[in-house]
Chains A and B, each alone.
Chain A
Amino acid sequence: MSKPEFVYVTYIETTAEKLWEALTSSEFSKLYWFDTELRSDWKVGSPLALVMNGTTTTDTGKILEADRPRRLSYTFKHELREEMRNEQPSKVIFNLEPHGKFVKLTLTHEGFAEGSKVLDGISRGWPAILSGLKSLLETGKPLVIPPTCL
């Protein structure tokens, strides 16, 4: 059996600095992350809140690592849906590796219990979010993906 985790790799024509900025700036994230702001000062130990449509806190966390522009990690706890709110916090890790004109981005989302509903949700969400991020950085245009199509 493999561990309950989700790993996603994508290659983006950009610089590690621009990608870091896109992963930590609400101005960007609103465009590719279902209108979600990432509220944090990104210092190790600081809180993080994911706020959708300017009003709804969907997830919270704490910054674990912020090695700009190489590695970012934070805890991740779902706050919105009743059936997922009581799950243990999981961990999000971004690794950014420059390769010439593009960056290899590896997302690892781990630390789930067996049968986690949050794992189901994020496994559908991350490909859409990270595909949108790639489009935004490469073309300047976000992808409009209705959440019902995930």
Chain B
Amino acid sequence: MDIANFKPAIVYTIYIASTPERVWQALTTAEFSRQYFSGFAIEAELKVGGAFIARAPDGSVHISGEVFECDPPRKLTITWNVNWPALVEKLGPTLVTYEIEQAGAAVKLTMLQSHDRDISDDILEGGRQGWPAILSSLKSVLETGKPLAIKMQPPQRMLAALNAMGIATPG
């Protein structure tokens, strides 16, 4: 897989009163991710070629991927493949890049979700809804010590579009 073939479809930037090291830790450890990401545990083997997993609270692997770029605490690029049957086969892999930069006394975190083909707005709605919730809560955890208890559900229009492509979704 050549990441040069991937183009960003969703870009989300958020500024956080923290340090690049803490933001990196929040993005890559289960201890933090369980707080801001609906109880999901991020398990990352932080080296190029290492495994990247988001484990659901019931223990199942919801997202699996591989580390493509790892430059702590500045840049992490991973594949972010939701384990729904036939999803990767039909949509191709999803690439996620986090860029972390010092911005004065704050940290600028930019998330880019990229694909190697055109993805419909209906399907992108999942990321457009999900990333602001996840990263708003991450910011709250780092700044206040408390997450936002945002109930996240896959958008109906995304599920309908996936089903129409023959991708099975839970529920």
Binding site for B on A (CB under 8 A): 2, 7-13, 99-102, 127-128, 131-132, 134-135, 138-139, 141, 143-146, 149-150
20 more CB-based (< 8 A) A-B contacts, given A131-B14, A149-B103 = A9-B133, A9-B136, A10-B14, A11-B132, A11-B137, A13-B140, A13-B146, A127-B13, A131-B16, A135-B15, A135-B17, A138-B143, A138-B144, A141-B17, A143-B105, A144-B106, A145-B15, A145-B104, A146-B104, A149-B104
Q: Hey, which chain B residues are within 8 Å of A2, CB to CB? A: 121
Contact B150 A102 (CB under 8 A): yes
Interface check B108, CB cutoff 8 A: yes
Interface check B91, CB cutoff 8 A: no
Q: Hey, which chain A residues are within 8 Å of B133, CB to CB? A: 9, 11
Q: With A99-B150, A131-B16, A138-B143 known to touch, is A10 a contact of B108 (CB < 8 Å)?
A: no
Interface check B115, CB cutoff 8 A: no
Q: Hey, which chain B residues are within 8 Å of A100, CB to CB? A: 149
* Cα–Cα distance between A41 and B12 once the two chains are bound (Å): 32
* Cα–Cα distance between A141 and B18 once the two chains are bound (Å): 13
**15 A–B pairs (Cβ distance < 8 Å), ordered by A:** A8-B132, A9-B132, A9-B136, A11-B133, A11-B148, A13-B140, A13-B146, A100-B149, A127-B15, A131-B106, A134-B136, A138-B144, A145-B15, A145-B103, A145-B108
How far is the CB of A72 from the nearest CB of chain B, in Å? 19
Contact A131 B140 (CB under 8 A): no
In the complex, the chain B residue whose C-beta lies closest to that of A142 is B17
Q: Hey, which chain B residues are within 8 Å of A101, CB to CB? A: 148-149
Contact A143 B136 (CB under 8 A): no
* Cα–Cα distance between A12 and B136 once the two chains are bound (Å): 8
Tell me the dominant secondary structure on chain A's binding face: mixed
Q: Hey, which chain B residues are within 8 Å of A135, CB to CB? A: 15, 17, 139, 143
* Cα–Cα distance between A62 and B89 once the two chains are bound (Å): 49
Contact A10 B132 (CB under 8 A): yes
Interface check B31, CB cutoff 8 A: no
* Cα–Cα distance between A145 and B16 once the two chains are bound (Å): 10
Q: Hey, which chain A residues are within 8 Å of B104, CB to CB? A: 144-146, 149
* Cα–Cα distance between A134 and B148 once the two chains are bound (Å): 12
Other-chain residue from A13, A131, A139, A141 in contact with B15 (beta carbon distance below 8 A): A131
Q: Hey, which chain A residues are within 8 Å of B13, CB to CB? A: 127
Other-chain residue from B17, B101, B136 in contact with A139 (beta carbon distance below 8 A): B17
How far is the CB of B10 from the nearest CB of chain A, in Å? 10
Q: Hey, which chain B residues are within 8 Å of A149, CB to CB? A: 101-104, 108
* Cα–Cα distance between A8 and B13 once the two chains are bound (Å): 9
In the complex, the chain A residue whose C-beta lies closest to that of B11 is A123
Among B106, B121, B137, the one with the most A-chain Cβ atoms within 10 Å of its Cβ is B106
Other-chain residue from B106, B121, B136, B144 in contact with A145 (beta carbon distance below 8 A): B106
